[in-house]
Structure 1
Amino acid sequence: MSPRPSRERAGSSGTTTGHFPFPFPFPFLFLAELVLPGELGSVRVARHCVKTVLTAAGHRDVTGVQLVVGELVANAVLHSISGLAGGLITLDVRAVGDTLARLDVMDDGGLTVPHVRRPDALDCSGRGLHLVAETALRWGVGDNALGGRVTWAEVRTTEDEPVTVPKPPDRAAAEA
């Protein structure tokens, strides 16, 4: 059984999103659980598996979900105890219909709490959670009962409505 969080912290928007794990604000359907080694190679595996699972469940646009899961798994490897030898990361994938995916990345905790950083222009890292905040509808961090951490995100899996750009007026008709 996967560790579950006992409380939740606000995401980047600064708003509290409710208590976790139950009840969810939406009727989430459990799709898959992956237990991955705490190493950077797990990022690629997580992206591939999430794409496969969500596509099989009827989700059309999973590129945003792949970006988010890659960042969350990479952070769990780089910034938690799960990144040490023998560490594990658990990824749960849930869905609301074919329009929304929820990802829960569970690790063994660390010395810091994930938060959006404001890196300098020349910094080589520190932008991952900014990408998560910009891509996900909501995201947050919670502690689980075993002393670990859960970082979660909810991401749309439908393409945005196409933007209609008006045609420029025909020059010949405008001059006549």
Structure 2
Amino acid sequence: MTEQDLIKFVKHSELFDYMVTRPLWHILPNWELTWDDNTDHFIPEEDSFAEKVNEMLDELIVTPITDNYHDNEDILAEHVQQNLNWNIIKVHGWWISCDYQDVINQGSFGDEEQKNLLSAAKGRIETAIKHGQSNFDDMEYGHQRILAMVLASILYQRSNDIV
């Protein structure tokens, strides 16, 4: 995935900010993001995650791709299983007995510098692009929902730097 692929994936998306930053409005109330075609970044605004989103996107460009982004998500689920004692088990590739988004979100608290979250996000974006979904809005809804939660979890984990 190139930098231009990632820019195309997020720019002028109708749903990106609604699904990624709106759930974090209680931290920074200005959740709507505005794209700047001149800089190919979101415009930083007061009480907004725009600057952190830009930093996260820049970081995604240099994040190495793993063979299977599910492996990164499994590490987070295993953290929940082992450290939070949630009664979850993986059966035929699926984590059973809990909402998958909750598992990944809670597992992110044990993810040093959000490395697994970033790798999972990059893998999900690259997979979407390979399947002809070149913009966040074009993604299949289930994968879109999980990607949005992964990106929101990264921002949440980094919100201490903001407030």
The structure where strand makes up a greater share of residues is 1
Larger gyration radius, structure 1 or structure 2: 1
Q: Check whether TM > 0.5.
A: no
TM-score w.r.t. structure 1 length? 0.29
Higher helix share: 2
